[in-house]
Structures are given as structure tokens and as C-alpha cells.
Amino acid sequence: MEMFFYGRSPETFLEGTFKVSRATDEKDFMVFKRLQFEPYLDNPNRSPRLPGFFELLFSSDNPMWRHMEAEVLIARRGDRPIGTIVVGVDERLNERYNKRIGIFGFLEAIELDSIPSLIKAAETRLKERNVDEIRGPINLSMEYNAGFLLYPHDEPAPIFVNYTRKEYPKIIESLGYKKLIDLVGLEIDLRKIPEKAFDKPKKVLQEYRFEHVRKKEREHYLDIILELTLDAFKDHRAFAKKDKEDLRYVFGPFKDLVDEKMARIAYDGDEPIGYTVRVPDYADAFRKIKRSLMKPKLGILDRLRLARHVRKVKAGKTIASGVKEEYRKRGIGSTLNYLAIKRMMERGFTKLNYSRIVETNTASIRNGMRRGGVEKERRRVYVKNMKK
């Protein structure tokens, strides 16, 4: 598979104790990918990356490259790779904010003292693009995860979230970066949900139609969910403007992970008006084979080992939810949550993780806490003004 940066001319942007240069070929891609895993090989709590994740994201087929430019940078001490960072400019993000924004993401370092050199090289490259500010970590897009983990570092992280070294926030702050926004994660103990939390959904069920996704018609339901996502997040300033092709590329490969009764769509007559997608939280299962996750695909033995651990999963994970603006505050979101939670409880799940909630989305946080949710994790995205 061809990566978007293959064939670019080699260039070094920083010389000294650490040399920072641009990735240009398959060998560099393998170095980059290894550096994403290596700092955490002995860490039992890291959220696992799924096999093929980096190949999918950095493929030249990703429609993201229609509106985004990016570079992969690698830091070396002598000939030894010890850190990496990705920098980019997304024109759709710039359109949303009406300013020039540079982003950095996928910052990882085996040697922490290489981080200032990586950041300096990133800033150099983004200054050449005349950016007004730099935000990060954003792994190319908020949909692919963002933020340095503030806490907890001593507990297993759910699937599909950023787990980063505890030293990173302090280091980035020492380099002049300030808080932009926090992303909150809630955990709900399904055994302790207050009964009154289900009062309103039972009434809404009589007013609107709700159905679960059927695997035989996954493509049909995926189309509906993508349209609803575009509508629900069209004015969400934390996210760059997307189109259907962008979202299909992001979410399409993961549709096989979905329990069909944990993905629900709400209708007013025949009109889709809201949705929720939950999956079993496979993080613990994938952690059992974490040294195999660097492969583009799992072999037969790895798949057999994974299947054995998947059967033991007792937690759910929220992937995405949304309701059309004109149908909000009618209990539709609460009812979708109720139906998905009911399915989890039928499967014997004991908890639900709801991660990456932008801290300004107080309605979602409040609704989660009304169901017994408690803040379990927090990540921070930083910003630095480059025009001072």
C-alpha cells in the first residue's frame, strides 16, 4: 500500500544532538510505526491501535489528502530513531476558524529530551506555511484522536482513545503551549444506573420509531449514520468540516466491530433523525496480543487468541451519537442511549465508557452523569500563538 509521503525528497530540518528529518519511504514508515508502539510495549494500560490502523490512515487513498498537507518527521540520535511527530495544515479547519492553523500529532519519544527538538522542527515547518497558531496533539483529525492524557495513567484505557506518557503535558507546557480545550471521558456502572433515568425514554418510545442496525444491510445503515453525523456536527467548532467520503473512510472499516443491537437509529415517520453507535470495548482483548498489533493484518493464530479473549469482554464503548438540531431536547438522544444500554445489560456488560466529550458539551456530560456516570479520564489539546 502506498503511503501519502512516499517519494518526497529527503530533507533535514534540525541538526545537533538530535537530527530531525522528513520521512520519505517505506523504511521510514516502518520506523514511524515502530516508534508509535515502542514506548508502551511494557505498559499494560495503553489503548491498543488496531491492526492496519496506520496503513489505513496514511494511505495515499485517504480522501483527507484532498484538503490537507502533512509531513512525518523522525528524530534520531546518531543513526538511532528515538522520536517522531506529524505536522499538517487542514484547509477545512482553517475555513471553519477563518485563520491559519497548524497541527501536530502522533508525538512519541523513547528519549524524552528529544521532544523539544521535535517541536522546534514542527514549528519551523509550520511557520513556513504562515500559520497563526499551532494546535496539538491532534492526530491529523479529531476523529482519529487528540489530546495528551492528563489522567489516569495507572488504569487500562478504553479502545479508540489516546494514551500518552504522563511526562508529555509538562514538557509541552514548558515549550510555551497553553490549554486549548479538554476532552472528558465518563464511565457508567451499568449495575448502578438510577431507575428514574429510564422514565423519559419509555415515553419517547411511543412517539418515535427506533430500530437497530441489521448486518445484512450495513451499507444502507452506514449511509444513514454518515448523513446524520454530517448534520449533527455541521456547526461543531472542535471539528473540521467533513464530507461523506471523509467519514466513510474513517468509520467504514470498523463497521464489523459493531453489535447490531448496540447501534440504533431514530425515525420520525420514515425520516432518520438521530443515531447512536456503541461497540464492545475490545481494548483488553487486543492488549493480550499487543505485540502483534504492529502487523498490517493478524495471522490465524493471533485471530484465534483474540477470539478467545473477545468472549470475555464486559464493557461497552460509545463511538458516536447525534441528533438533528430541530429534534434535540425531545429525549431522543436519551432514548437511543437507553436502548443501547439495555442491549449491553442483556449481554452481561457491567460498564460503559463514553470518551472524547468536548468539555464545552455540557449537555452530554450532564446526561451521562444523570445515568450514574463519573469522570474517569481527561485529555488536553494545547495551542501556541505563532504571531507574537
Last-in-domain residue among 133, 166, 183: 183
What's the domain range around 127?
12-183
User: Based on the domain organization, do 230 and 364 belong to the same domain?
Assistant: yes
Predicted confidence band at 82 (pLDDT cuts at 50, 70, 90)? very high
6 is a domain residue = no
In the three-class reduction of DSSP (H, G, I as helix; E, B as strand; rest coil), residue 240 is classed as: coil
User: Based on the domain organization, do 33 and 176 belong to the same domain?
Assistant: yes
User: Based on the domain organization, do 102 and 200 belong to the same domain?
Assistant: no
3 is a domain residue = no
Last-in-domain residue among 152, 183, 214: 183
Number of domains within the chain: 2
4 is a domain residue = no
Last-in-domain residue among 125, 159, 183: 183
User: Based on the domain organization, do 212 and 163 belong to the same domain?
Assistant: no
User: Based on the domain organization, do 342 and 204 belong to the same domain?
Assistant: yes
Burial track 17-47 (b if 16+ CB lie within 10 A, e otherwise): ebbbbbbbeeebbeebbebbbebbeeeeebb
User: Based on the domain organization, do 302 and 242 belong to the same domain?
Assistant: yes
* pLDDT at 287 exceeding the cut of 60: yes
State mean pLDDT over 186-195.
86
User: Based on the domain organization, do 158 and 198 belong to the same domain?
Assistant: no
pLDDT digits (tens, 9 = 90+) for 27-43: 999 999 999 999 998 88
Angle at 58 between CA 108 and CA 90, to 5 degrees: 85
Give pTM, 2 decimals: 0.90
* pLDDT at 206 exceeding the cut of 80: yes
User: Based on the domain organization, do 315 and 232 belong to the same domain?
Assistant: yes
387 is a domain residue = no
